Structure 1
Amino acid sequence: MAADQDHEQEQRRRLLAVASRFPLPNGARFSYGTAGFRADGATMASAVCRAALLAALRSVKLAGAAVGIVITASHNPVRDNGVKIADPDGGMMDQCWEPFADTLANAPDPDALLQLVLQFAKDEGIPLGRGGHHTAQVLLGRDTRPTGEYLLDAALQGINAIVGARAIDMGILTTPQLHWMVRSKNKGIKASESDYFTQLIDSFRRLLELVPKDKGGDDLSKKLIVDGANGIGGVKLEQIKAELSGLNIIVRNSGKEGEGILNHMCGADFVQKERVTPHGFSPDDIGVRCASLDGDADRLVYFHVSSASNNSVALVDGDKILSLFALFIREQLDIISDNGGQANKPLPSRLGIVQTAYANGASTKFLKSLGLEVVFTPTGVKYLHKKALEYDIGIYFEANGHGTVLFSEDFIAQLESLSNELCSRADTVSAQYQAAMRLMAASQLINQAVGDALSGFLLVEAILQYKGWSFQNWCELYSDLPSRQLKVKVIDRTAIITTDAETKVSQPSGLQELIDMEIANYAHGRCFVRPSGTEDVVRVYAEASTQEAADSLAKSVACHVESLLG
């Protein structure tokens, strides 16, 4: 009994001490969203410390399962930083913990933080203060931002504020690497960075070995220039590019010291939004396939330098990456289903495509033309990922280039059983066997925890070689409908309430009717509005058959929003 009391006192002492060491900055208010907590890096110490403390609590709650912390601000400017938590499956932290994350991060003083933690632990049945036992383990990673080392120390102290918690610093990583490591550790799989690289390199090699002999392309088709956003993705790609046989990779904005500024005039977010070449690219790159990562390497877009006269690009965004993946996977499933030449058999497993309202309407139409099931969720990876898990194979991508392909364990078991059966019959040259092996390799290559630009571009490259496609062939899958996004400043964004995956407005009354009236004036018109998750603005998205029409539709709807809410 005395020992238990000592442990409880020690737990209280640690919580008070760490809260005193990292006080909430004056006037600061943190909100945990899809990106976790994010702000100017100089103001983030208290939020990072408390997020790490929360990660340790989460691990205790889950019987010591590994939880992850990654310190990054992704595509934000270099002065910013942030922190987010990875759950034991490698995905985002359970949404039901987000309200407490907000409350904890904004606790005004040490006593308030102590009482919040003790009450939350009691309500959740979290046993605190077990002296001498490792009741929690938290894996930490950070990107290359200059505030990262300072914030890593705050995270370590936050974890150590929970008695029995153990912090494991995994080093400077891409965000997807950290998520992959958390998932792997909890599955009992080797989880080091070298294990991550080995899995990528080996599965990419297996996919290339399964490329038909009459495909694969010439030297130009195997050349790829990658914009690393002067971030950690470029650094990691430089480490492994020599081992990626079958590709000639040139890394620009690689993150080498003194080469450039993180995310400044480069990176996937810049290319996707501005539709121009990143820093370091020129007309000399015309005709060469190019890819762009973001600062922490969880987003990916492709592009071509369009002409020598300006710096515009032909963009392939997340919608077209998704479409390429869906086409490839559907083709392999059809080969497997076509047993003995009997065509038109149903798919052996349920394949689902998950998009948000921001997906270009032309991509949705194309996917449905393939007979695929397409569903929509609210904007945000946490919604997309959760929905994709409902399928045997679930594919999701946002237009910004964040997404992945999820294969269920049951489906992987089916593939293994089929491939073993065919192998035992010495049927390893059959189309069925090779299709099954392609899907197995794809499931190993693509990150099952989160969107991963490194694994994503390798799967793109393998599929292009398998199909013998050029960049132009890929672009011609479908033509995007012209679109326009606008922001309308409002007094209270919460006055907008949406339904049907944010495609319809239920409040304020009458706004949806006004939007519908405007849409009816345009061929292929589509428009929706949604409140921003981070600032007092309402976002307006519009599509139509011409750019002029899309611009006009967006402007008309923005005027209605401003009139009602401005």
Structure 2
Amino acid sequence: MNEDQRSLFLSSSSHFPPPQGVKLSYGTSGFRADASILQSTVYRVGILAALRALKTQSVIGLMITASHNKVSDNGVKVADPSGGMLSQDWEPFADTLANAHDPQHLVELIAEFVQKENITLDGTKPVEILLARDTRPSGEFLLEAAKQGIGSIIGAVALDMGILTTPQLHWMVRARNGGVKVSETDYFKKLSSSFRCLVDLSPSGTHANNVDDKLVVDGANGVGGEKLEILKTMLNGLAIEVRNSGKEGGVLNEGVGADYVQKEKVVPFSFGSQDVGIRCSSLDGDADRLVYFIVPSTSSNKIELVDGDKILSLFAIFITEQLSILNKEIDVKAKNGYQCHLGIVQTAYANGASTDYLKQLGLEVTFTPTGVKYLHEKAAEYDIGIYFEANGHGTILFSEQFLCWLKARTTELSDVAKGSEQHKAALRLLAVSELINQAAGDALSGVLMVEAILKHMGWSIERWNEIYEDLPSRQLKVKVVDRSAVVTANAETVAVTPPGIQEAINAETAKHPRGRCFIRPSGTEDVIRVYAEASSQDAADNLAQSVAKVVDQFLGFGSS
């Protein structure tokens, strides 16, 4: 690192002193905290993003958001060249950078890292970092801190893309690194045209079903509702009413949003008896999560939740159907054949009934530890990988090899069997690959995927919800002295340490029909999370409580 670069670091970092007594950690969602203490962290993530861009010689994204958190919180995360999350290899450096106690220490850390990674800081190869924020008031001043951080790296250029959903930024980063200079308008056009293509390919007899039914969407008073208001004007054949768009004066994520609906299982603000019989869905604060729900009666504020597990199952049904049609009479050993490897990826938090249902369909289901970065990485191993968490975050990934074959097959079919069921199936799969956001979970593209598939199947939301019945479940937290005492294996379903705890959990689980229970340490606080399922709600509650007592006996304050 030359003296000019060192001086630039020292000068700019002196304006962003870190908060005293606060230690931050870069997790799946990046850094999250009260917005009032994040300025220094966001400045340093700006440096991180610029270094990542120089290292990869690619466009990198920096998003300022805290998703489903309360409005006083905020956060920052980096999007890698693929449009996915920051490489896990760089997370330790992100932590060290954020927690450096003074400018001199910060510069020393950067100099050491730059040398280790062989990053050139002479400005000879300029790079771009795309910046965006959600609608939180704190986003504006935090964005300026990010610009200052990027600007402290010679050769790094910050491009402010404005207010976007998190998935929009991920999509733009992916597209630009693919050689396409895209804008938000391009994003809307891509979604609307792909949706139209899927709807037009619906089988005769189902096309009319649900086409003009209204969909009512809870926008969480966030950026997603704002963007959906724009997108819906570009759609034909789907009437969308957006509530809690943020324009009505509601508070972000307060009594609204996918996280609230999924956890509380009650109607969000502004929904109620008027919505009985109407399809309803809810986005989270930055529009990367989506759940659907049914308002079953006028006498209660309770809902029937159609969560991420059922969205995954709907997508899997549709994809499987198209692959089955496409492969009819194709010799997979022949030139025009391709044995597509379809995989479903879940975490241990997926409801057991959903896993059983998917396996009954003959699908390959694998599990990863909790966290989108693990799900996404595993899904990328398949020709088509579908992953979703119960909270509504997920997407579909297509391998380049399969897409190349699919495009060639579509062209071949258009010459010899245009309009055939095989040709339509190929076109549908291509449309899905265009509609779904392969960079990240995206509630806006997810809504359109769900709606297109329901039209294709001729299903109401009630019919969709009936594909299987969730097993009753319960989640609890147990305060412990040291959460690191629990080490898990087998995608967090087995506790390896402390010795004997898994055997005790197994003994409690065996007492309940269809019982399933696991524990895992929280990533952010000294608690152990307990998840339990059983054949009845009482049994699930009892199992969770009994395992919580086991955890307390082994790890609680009384055990130390």
1:471 equivalent among 461, 465, 482: 461
CA distance in 2, matches of 1:46, 1:125: 26
1:27 equivalent among 4, 16, 21: 21
Matched, 1:14 2:8: yes
Question: 1:135 Cα shift?
Answer: 2.9
User: Who is 2:309 aligned against?
Assistant: 319
CA distance in 1, matches of 2:260, 2:81: 32
User: Who is 2:489 aligned against?
Assistant: 499
Which string of whole-angstrom CA distances, capped at 9 and with x for unpartnered residues, describes residues 12-38 of structure 1?
011112221111011111100001000
CA distance in 1, matches of 2:395, 2:11: 41
Aligned residues of 1:493 and 1:536 also touching (Cα < 8 A): yes
Matched, 1:441 2:431: yes
Classify the secondary structure of the residue corresponding to 1:539: strand
Q: What do you get for the CA RMSD once the two structures are aligned?
A: 1.5
Question: 1:259 Cα shift?
Answer: 2.4
Question: 1:218 Cα shift?
Answer: 4.5
2:506 equivalent among 512, 516, 523: 516
User: Who is 2:341 aligned against?
Assistant: 350
CA distance in 2, matches of 1:202, 1:500: 42
Aligned residues of 1:69 and 1:138 also touching (Cα < 8 A): yes
Matched, 1:420 2:411: yes
User: Who is 1:4 aligned against?
Assistant: none
User: Who is 1:266 aligned against?
Assistant: 256
Classify the secondary structure of the residue corresponding to 1:39: strand
User: Who is 2:83 aligned against?
Assistant: 90
CA distance in 2, matches of 1:325, 1:341: 26
1:367 equivalent among 358, 378, 390: 358
CA distance in 2, matches of 1:415, 1:203: 16
User: Who is 2:296 aligned against?
Assistant: 306
Classify 1:519/1:171 alpha carbon distance in 2 versus 1 (closer, same or farther; 3 Å). Answer: same
Matched, 1:185 2:150: no
Instruction: Give 2:106's aligned amino acid.
Output: L
Q: What pairs up with 1:99-138 in 2 under 5 angstroms?
A: 99-128=92-121, 130-131=122-123, 133-138=124-129
Matched, 1:562 2:552: yes
Instruction: Give 1:454's aligned amino acid.
Output: L
2:52 equivalent among 58, 73, 83: 58
Matched, 1:140 2:134: no
Classify the secondary structure of the residue corresponding to 1:82: strand
Instruction: Give 2:355's aligned amino acid.
Output: T
CA distance in 2, matches of 1:243, 1:37: 35
CA distance in 1, matches of 2:414, 2:361: 31
User: Who is 1:166 aligned against?
Assistant: 157
Percent sequence identity is 61
Of 8-17 and 535-544, the range deviating more from structure 2: 8-17
User: Who is 2:190 aligned against?
Assistant: 199
CA distance in 2, matches of 1:247, 1:552: 44
2:236 equivalent among 233, 245, 248: 245
Question: 1:282 Cα shift?
Answer: 1.3
CA distance in 2, matches of 1:334, 1:233: 35
CA distance in 2, matches of 1:134, 1:516: 57
Q: Give the TM-score, by structure 1 length.
A: 0.96
Question: 1:221 Cα shift?
Answer: 6.1
Instruction: Give 2:547's aligned amino acid.
Output: V
Instruction: Give 2:515's aligned amino acid.
Output: G
CA distance in 2, matches of 1:391, 1:506: 29
Classify the secondary structure of the residue corresponding to 2:76: strand
Question: 1:271 Cα shift?
Answer: 0.1
Aligned residues of 1:333 and 1:347 also touching (Cα < 8 A): no
Matched, 1:284 2:274: yes
Which string of whole-angstrom CA distances, capped at 9 and with x for unpartnered residues, describes residues 91-128 of structure 1?
00000100010000000000000000000000111112
Question: 1:297 Cα shift?
Answer: 0.1
Q: What pairs up with 1:372-451 in 2 under 5 angstroms?
A: 372-425=363-416, 427-451=417-441
* Structure 2: segments with no counterpart, 5+ residues: none
Instruction: Give 2:179's aligned amino acid.
Output: G
CA distance in 2, matches of 1:268, 1:17: 43
Aligned residues of 1:85 and 1:93 also touching (Cα < 8 A): yes
Of 462-471 and 236-245, the range deviating more from structure 2: 236-245
Question: 1:141 Cα shift?
Answer: 0.6
Classify 1:219/1:358 alpha carbon distance in 2 versus 1 (closer, same or farther; 3 Å). Answer: closer
CA distance in 2, matches of 1:219, 1:271: 24
Aligned residues of 2:472 and 2:537 also touching (Cα < 8 A): yes
Aligned residues of 2:209 and 2:458 also touching (Cα < 8 A): no
Aligned residues of 1:70 and 1:178 also touching (Cα < 8 A): yes
Classify the secondary structure of the residue corresponding to 1:270: helix
Classify the secondary structure of the residue corresponding to 1:127: coil
User: Who is 1:3 aligned against?
Assistant: none
Classify 1:341/1:492 alpha carbon distance in 2 versus 1 (closer, same or farther; 3 Å). Answer: closer
Question: 1:219 Cα shift?
Answer: 5.7
Instruction: Give 1:244's aligned amino acid.
Output: L
Instruction: Give 1:111's aligned amino acid.
Output: Q
Q: What pairs up with 1:217-232 in 2 under 5 angstroms?
A: 217-218=208-209, 222-232=213-223
Aligned residues of 1:221 and 1:470 also touching (Cα < 8 A): no
Q: Give the TM-score, by structure 2 length.
A: 0.97
CA distance in 2, matches of 1:16, 1:54: 16
Aligned residues of 1:302 and 1:316 also touching (Cα < 8 A): yes
Classify the secondary structure of the residue corresponding to 1:21: coil
Which string of whole-angstrom CA distances, capped at 9 and with x for unpartnered residues, describes residues 351-405 of structure 1?
0000000000000000001111100000000000000000000000000000000
Q: What pairs up with 1:526-541 in 2 under 5 angstroms?
A: 526-541=516-531
Aligned residues of 2:341 and 2:384 also touching (Cα < 8 A): yes
Aligned residues of 2:65 and 2:75 also touching (Cα < 8 A): yes
CA distance in 2, matches of 1:411, 1:354: 18
Instruction: Give 2:107's aligned amino acid.
Output: L
Instruction: Give 1:87's aligned amino acid.
Output: D
- Structure 1 residue runs of 4 or more that deviate by more than 6 Å after TM superposition: none
CA distance in 2, matches of 1:189, 1:135: 18
Question: 1:307 Cα shift?
Answer: 1.2
Count residues with an aligned counterpart: 553
CA distance in 2, matches of 1:176, 1:239: 16
Question: 1:217 Cα shift?
Answer: 4.1
Matched, 1:43 2:37: yes
